[in-house]
Amino acid sequence: MALIPIETRYRTAMADRFEEEAKLRQWMRVEAALAKAHASLGHIPKSAPAQIEAGARQVKLSRVQAIEAETHHDLMAMVKALSEQSGAAGAYVHLGATSYDIEDTALALTLIDAGRLIRSRLSDLRRTLKKLALANARRVCVGRTHGQHAVPTTYGMKFALYYAAFGRHKARLDSALERMAYGKMSGATGTMATFGPDAFRLQEMVMKELGLKPAPITTQIITRDRHAELLFVLALIASSIEQVAAEIRNLQRTEISELAEAFGAKQVGSSTMPQKRNPHKSERLCSLARVVRAQLPMALENIPSEHERDLTNSAAERFLFPTMFCTTDFMLMELERILSGLQFNDAAIARNLALTQGGILAERVMMALAAKGMGRQDAHELLRTASHEAAAKNKPLAEVLRGKSGVRRLLKQAELAALFDPSTYIGQAPEIVKRAVADEA
């Protein structure tokens, strides 16, 4: 029975990378690379690596687990199981290595593979955001600051903003993966003592075989700042996902109702309120963002390690890596699905643009008066008092302004009326959107 939802409800292809079977195969892949290096340097028979690789194909996870139940050491259980299947070459399995030569190198392979999947998801999401940004570059809507109506903006601006943010995350991920792509063959305290005079060459050969770079210096482990940096990028991604999801949730409020998640013909919003159409997928993403961010203290606390290492990072990492990677992967896929099916309510968008009866265009009138010769501060004060008067009397702002001599003196009736068309007060928004999404997704 699954105990946590990343195994079931939120499972994606990412989970496969963190299964025990997958971890075992990565460990044996490193052991095979080590044997190849030893054989190339003349340390073991030339035939040994092929026997060890053949043996690895025969090792069963159940056998490794049975040995571990006796030895209480998971890596050594793998070594014994692999040795059993490798015939005479079993004597050369794990030669000179310490457990974390294998484990940390294998972990780098797993995290790089997982990171590349996240990168692919980011590209998918950005392609969807780019389409939405361009398609809605001129879809005018209310801009809101402090939860209040501000001035008009466009939906294209919203989506282009998110597109840019996930582009930065993609660049951060690439950078973090570059620093994650290191392995080690340096022994119990990092001195390479067990590998003899060929130690540097052997480490280089192993890492080249695996597509990694040799860590220039380690203790028994690769220092966890590399891992923490990568996980921090996942937390940033999750937070940006929450930013988008929270915006969708708010804009789907009954009082706003400008857009909504897609809703299936047989979908149920509430077990008791039949009318409900809840943005539950976006709410779920906001909840899962908390799960991802909550792991970060653990990643940071794993960086300090006593002397040449202690074991305090080990158990924590069994939760940390699969939780953060699997959850973030689900979140990226879910957000892309939500955005692909997003529904706009143009009637509500228009209603909200008119809700303040021209109040959201007070800035525009102020600037027009300043352009006609009124002092900017005087224009600001005139619009401030006029806006409050219009709100108090529940009148259109334009109507109140028509009664102001200073306005009548500088602006003709037609000019004033034209200023209250929100569709013509979006500045450079379409061009901003175009430029913001000009790079490759």
Contact between 114 and 21 (Cβ < 8 Å) = no
Burial of 61 (0-12, 13-18, 19+ CB in 10 A): middle
Q: Which of 270, 287, 340, 423 is catalytic?
A: 270
Q: How far apart, in whole angstroms, are the C-alpha atoms of residue 187 and residue 334?
A: 43
Q: How far apart, in whole angstroms, are the C-alpha atoms of residue 381 and residue 384?
A: 5
Please report how many Cα atoms fall inside a 13 Å half-sphere around the Cα of residue 99, on the Cβ side: 12
- Which one-letter DSSP state was computed for residue 404? -
Burial of 87 (0-12, 13-18, 19+ CB in 10 A): middle
Q: How far apart, in whole angstroms, are the C-alpha atoms of residue 174 and residue 118?
A: 10
Q: Please choose, from the candidates 34, 42, 43, the residue with its C-alpha nearest in 3D space to the C-alpha of residue 82.
A: 34
Based on the residue annotation, tell me whether 73 is a catalytic residue of this protein.
no
* Beta pairing class for 343-344 and 259-260: antiparallel
Instruction: Give one DSSP letter per residue of 23-39, joined into a string.
Output: HHHHHHHHHHHHHHHHH
Task: Please provide residue 419's backbone torsions phi and psi, each rounded to the nearest 5 degrees.
Answer: -70, -15
Q: Please choose, from the candidates 129, 98, 158, the residue with its C-alpha nearest in 3D space to the C-alpha of residue 309.
A: 98
Q: How far apart, in whole angstroms, are the C-alpha atoms of residue 187 and residue 194?
A: 7
Beta-carbon contacts of 363 under 8 Å, excluding residues fewer than 6 positions away, are 151, 383
Q: Which of 62, 72, 146, 271 is catalytic?
A: 146
Q: How far apart, in whole angstroms, are the C-alpha atoms of residue 36 and residue 43?
A: 10
Based on the residue annotation, tell me whether 388 is a catalytic residue of this protein.
no
Q: How far apart, in whole angstroms, are the C-alpha atoms of residue 48 and residue 37?
A: 11
Q: Which helix (H) or strand (E) holds 214?
A: strand 213-214
Q: How far apart, in whole angstroms, are the C-alpha atoms of residue 335 and residue 7?
A: 19
Kindly tell me the sign of the dihedral angle through the C-alpha atoms of 268, 271, 274, 276: negative
Q: How far apart, in whole angstroms, are the C-alpha atoms of residue 204 and residue 213?
A: 7
Cα–Cα–Cα angle for 22, 28, 29, nearest 5°?
85
- Which one-letter DSSP state was computed for residue 262? -
Q: Which residues are catalytic?
A: 146, 270
